[in-house]
């Protein structure tokens, strides 16, 4: 198949590389010319505008957006839409708010797939977990691309109609916040408590057979190995927060109590007062582990 990819940052570059590695053709565009040059060197056809990308793709366009959520998605769609028809398919692989997705799917002349993407840049080798919403025929049509970008056929599934993919990813991120908070609190007690412990060794032994082993715990182990048991100069400041806020807002609307996820979100807000809490310093470092988000340092 031939796939157009718009947005070639940390995540879009991986989409391009994995789709090329699976033997498909890629036409790629980004506002950043250096990013376009880099994927051209890797084998993609470069486009110097969205119109140029559409010219390369011809009829039955398949286009994957991997730009930041919010205004960049609307700006991209505004330019794309005059070039789209009902037989075309657009995938939004970013962390868009599902309310925005419902509005966009309704307005888009093409079939619109919302694709929640989990795994982060650290999963370039393994592939991502993809949660897809939208028309079934469009999901089937894009299956070769999903197979390539995900860990394989088991790494993607259609969740339901438009919006459901981003809805499931929003809840996934709420769970991510709560898990980071739980590990952070446990390690904070171990760090502040009555024994002088090697936290890399604790994380390592927990990752070998313990009930609480997980990828996030492997990233805790990596963080202690690279920063030391006291996390060095990693600051008590956790950035991000939009996806957790949406999860809590939706829980309030649905009257479903989510005290753990709310508390984890509130801890992020609290971290902006910089009180030096160990749990938040670990959460700050873990966001680098999975998302390559910049580590805030003291
Ligand atoms: N980094 C992560 O761990 C994950 C990120 N995501 C989501 O994936 C999306 C992309 O994230 P990243 O790759 O991390 O961001 P990034 O900031 O690394 O890359 C974004 C790219 O989009 C380009 N861009 C921005 N506006 C554009 C426009 N109007 N037209 C064309 N290109 C444009 C930028 O030049 C940049 O190269 C976001 O929605 C993010 O929330 C989803 C899962 C994990
Ligand atoms: O989706 C992700 C991981 O699953 C991204 O890393 C996202 O940026 C994390 O959310 P936040 O920025 O709110 O921490």
Q: How far apart are CA 225 and CA 56, in angstroms?
A: 47
95 and 167 Cβ atoms separated by less than 8 Å: no
Q: 169-291, what's its fold?
A: 1.10.1040
Which residues make Cβ contacts (< 8 Å) with residue 81, sequence separation at least 6? Answer: 107, 108, 109
CA of 79 to the centre of ligand 1 (A): 18
Average confidence (pLDDT) over 110-139 = 98
| Cβ–Cβ under 8 Å, residues 112 and 103 | no
Query: Has residue 274 got a pLDDT over 80?
Result: no
Q: What is the ipTM of this complex?
A: 0.98
pTM of structure: 0.96
Please give the structure tokens belonging to residue 183.
């590990």
Q: Whose CA is nearest to atom 9 of ligand 1?
A: 94
pLDDT in tens, 61-94: 999 999 999 999 999 999 999 999 999 999 999 9
Q: Which residues contact 83 (CB under 8 A, 6 or more apart)?
A: 50, 51, 54, 61
Q: Calculate mean pLDDT across residues 252-279.
A: 93
Q: Where are the beta strands (DSSP E) in the chain?
A: 2-6, 25-29, 45-46, 62-65, 89-92, 111-118, 129-133, 156-160
Q: Could you read off the pLDDT of 199-218 as tens digits, one per residue? A: 999 999 999 999 999 999 99
Measured from the alpha carbon of residue 74, the closest ligand is 1
Residues annotated catalytic, as ranges: 169, 176
Query: Could you give the residue ranges of the DSSP H alpha helices within 91-163?
Result: 98-107, 136-141, 143-149
Tell me the domain boundaries of the chain: 2-161, 169-291
Question: Is 3.40.50.720 the CATH classification of the domain at 2-161?
Answer: yes
- Give the tokens for residue 121: 């840049």
């Amino acid at each position: 198949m031939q796939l157009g990819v718009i947005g070639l940052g940390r995540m879009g570059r991986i989409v391009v590389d994995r789709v090329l590695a699976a033997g498909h053709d890629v036409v790629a565009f980004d506002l950043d010319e250096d990013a376009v040059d880099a994927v051209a060197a890797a084998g993609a056809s470069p486009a110097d505008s969205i119109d140029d990308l559409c010219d390369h793709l011809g009829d039955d366009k398949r286009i994957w957006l991997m730009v930041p959520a919010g205004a960049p998605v609307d700006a991209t769609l505004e330019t794309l839409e005059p070039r789209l028809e009902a037989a075309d398919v657009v995938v939004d692989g970013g962390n868009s708010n599902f309310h925005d997705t419902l509005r966009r799917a309704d307005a888009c002349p093409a079939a619109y797939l919302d694709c929640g993407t989990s795994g982060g840049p650290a999963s370039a080798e393994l592939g991502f977990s993809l949660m897809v919403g939208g028309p079934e025929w469009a999901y089937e049509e894009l299956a070769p691309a999903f197979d390539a970008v995900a860990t394989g056929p088991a790494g993607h599934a259609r969740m339901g109609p438009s919006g459901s993919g981003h809805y499931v990813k929003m809840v996934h991120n709420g769970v991510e916040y709560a898990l980071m908070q739980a590990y952070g609190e446990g390690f904070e007690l171990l760090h502040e408590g009555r024994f002088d412990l090697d936290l890399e060794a604790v994380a390592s032994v927990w990752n070998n057979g313990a009930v609480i082993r997980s990828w996030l715990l492997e990233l805790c182990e990596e963080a202690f190995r690279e920063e030391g048991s006291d996390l060095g100069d990693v600051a008590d400041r956790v950035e991000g927060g939009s996806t957790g806020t949406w999860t809590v807002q939706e829980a309030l609307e649905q009257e479903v109590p989510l005290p753990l996820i709310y508390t984890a979100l509130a801890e992020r807000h609290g971290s902006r007062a910089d009180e030096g809490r160990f749990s938040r310093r670990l959460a700050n470092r873990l966001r680098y582990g999975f998302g390559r988000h910049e580590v805030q340092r003291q």
